Chains A and B, each alone.
Chain A
Amino acid sequence: GAGVSQSPSNKVTEKGKDVELRCDPISGHTALYWYRQSLGQGLEFLIYFQGNSAPDKSGLPSDRFSAERTGGSVSTLTIQRTQQEDSAVYLCASSSGLFGETQYFGPGTRLLVL
C-alpha cells in the first residue's frame, strides 16, 4: 500500500518568507508526527497529532512554527518568517497510535532558507 508522502521534496526560500510543508500519512493511521533533522541538532521531535488534535506540541522551537491536521489525515507544518537556522529536513511519520507501534516515515522535505 501507499506509504507516507510529503511535499514538496525540496523547498528553497528567502529569509522572512512563510513556508508550508505537507504530510499525507498512511491511510488509517491516527497518529502523525513531525520531526526535524539538522546537522547540528540531529533528529528532533516537533509535534504529535492524535486524530485532529495535538496533545504534544512541546518540540516546536518557536511560535513561528505551527501545524494543523484536518480530517484526521493530511497535516500541514507552517513556518512563518523563516530564518536560516530553520534550514533542515522536515520528516513526517505516522502510526496506528498504539503504544509501541512502529512509526513509518515519509521521504522528508529539504528546506533551505537563504
Chain B
Amino acid sequence: AQKITQTQPGMFVQEKEAVTLDCTYDTSDPSYGLFWYKQPSSGEMIFLIYQGSYDQQNATEGRYSLNFQKARKSANLVISASQLGDSAMYFCAMSPGYNQGGKLIFGQGTELSVKP
C-alpha cells in the first residue's frame, strides 16, 4: 500500500539551529515524487521542496534541503538556521506513480515550534 509516515507529532528547535523532520514512504512504483508543504496557523498550504524518485541529487531550496535516501525510503526535510516564522505544521507528501494523475498522499504532519 502507498503510505507516508511522519513519526514526530511535535518538534522543538532553538532559533538559528538546524532541525530535521522525518518522513518515510512506501510505494512499489518506480516513479514517484516527494513533496514537503508547510501549513502555518493561518491554514494555507505552502509548497517548500520537491524530490523526484530518479533525481540523483538531493533537492535544495534556500534554507530547505531534502535528505533523500531511496534505499531506506526516507525523505527527511532539513531546515537550516531556524527562524521564528518557521513554526508551523509540516507535511510530507508523495505523488505515487507516473500514471496516477499526481494526487498527493500526505503524512500526518509534524508540528514544529521554534523557540527564541
Name A's B-contacting residues (CB within 8 A).
31, 33, 35, 42-45, 48, 50, 55-56, 59, 89, 91, 93, 95, 97-105, 107-108
The answer on a CB contact under 8 Å between B103 and A48 is yes
- Chain B residues contacting A50 (CB-CB under 8 Å) are 101
- Chain A residues contacting B102 (CB-CB under 8 Å) are 31, 33, 48, 95, 97-101, 103
**Cβ contact of A31, chosen from B33, B43, B101, cutoff 8 A:** B101
Q: List 16 A-B contacts (CB under 8 A).
A: A31-B101, A31-B102, A43-B109, A48-B102, A50-B101, A56-B103, A95-B102, A99-B31, A99-B33, A99-B102, A100-B50, A100-B102, A102-B35, A103-B35, A103-B104, A108-B43
The answer on a CB contact under 8 Å between B108 and A105 is no
- Chain A residues contacting B12 (CB-CB under 8 Å) are none
In whole Å, how far is A15's beta carbon from the nearest beta carbon of chain B? 24
List the count of A-B residue pairs having beta carbons below 8 Å apart: 63
The 4 closest A-B pairs by CB, nearest first: A105-B45, A43-B106, A100-B33, A45-B103
**Cβ contact of A35, chosen from B44, B95, B101, B104, cutoff 8 A:** B104
- Chain A residues contacting B104 (CB-CB under 8 Å) are 33, 35, 43, 45, 93, 103
Asked whether B19 is an interface residue with its Cβ less than 8 Å from the other chain, the reply is no
Other 10 A-B pairs with CB < 8 A, given A33-B103, A99-B95: A31-B101, A35-B106, A43-B93, A43-B109, A45-B103, A93-B104, A102-B47, A103-B102, A107-B43, A108-B43
* A104, B100: Cα distance in complex, Å: 18
**Cβ contact of B45, chosen from A44, A55, A91, cutoff 8 A:** A91
In whole Å, how far is A48's beta carbon from the nearest beta carbon of chain B? 5
Q: Which residue of B lies closest to A56 (CB)?
A: B101
The answer on a CB contact under 8 Å between B98 and A99 is yes
* A92, B111: Cα distance in complex, Å: 22
Q: Which residue of B lies closest to A54 (CB)?
A: B101
- Chain A residues contacting B33 (CB-CB under 8 Å) are 99-100
* A107, B40: Cα distance in complex, Å: 11
Asked whether B25 is an interface residue with its Cβ less than 8 Å from the other chain, the reply is no
**Cβ contact of A56, chosen from B47, B50, B100, cutoff 8 A:** B100
In whole Å, how far is A38's beta carbon from the nearest beta carbon of chain B? 12
